[in-house]
Amino acid sequence: MSRQVPEWIGKTDDSPIPARVRARVFEAHGGRCHISGRKIGAGEPWDCDHVIALINGGENRESNLAPALRDKHREKTAQDVAVKSKTARMRAKHLGIWPKSKTRWPTRKLGVSRPQPQKAHDHG
């Protein structure tokens, strides 16, 4: 009977993942990149990826980690940041706190028409 190891949970989102946890994550996933499904070769650079990104509400814990090839991890991180940015923009707009345009040109208010040019009067 093997001893159960308690799940690692980072004290903060910035807590580094210990090497022993990285090894357990790698072995638990059979040494495969969870993004591409490709086997990670010996000496190939890989990272522990947060399956649900921290910026999107994921937790810094072992059950939210999976091995990912470094280039695939970078691509996923860029997508995670884009999702977070879009979500933040939409939320700000719905709350009415999205920054107003800083255009120099005045805008017409709805329901206000442009002033009509005055016709020249003939005197004579």
> What is the tally of structural domains in the chain?
1
One DSSP character per residue, 15-83 reads PPPPHHHHHHHHHHTTTB-TTT-PBPPTT--EEEEESS-GGGT--SBGGGEEEEEHHHHHHHHHHHHHH
Q: Identify the band that residue 124 occupies on the pLDDT scale cut at 50, 70 and 90.
A: low
Residue corresponding to tokens 């086997």: 39
**pLDDT for the residue numbered 9:** 96
Share of the chain above pLDDT 90, in %: 60
For residue 122, tell me if it sits in a domain.
no
For residue 115, tell me if it sits in a domain.
no
Query: In terms of pTM, does the model score above 0.85?
Result: no
Give the closest residue to 70 by CA, choosing from 41, 95, 103.
Answer: 41
Strand partners, 32: 39
For residue 56, tell me if it sits in a domain.
yes
Q: Which domain holds residue 76?
A: 19-95
Q: Identify the band that residue 62 occupies on the pLDDT scale cut at 50, 70 and 90.
A: very high
CATH number of the domain that residue 61 is part of: 3.40.1800
For residue 2, tell me if it sits in a domain.
no
For residue 86, tell me if it sits in a domain.
yes
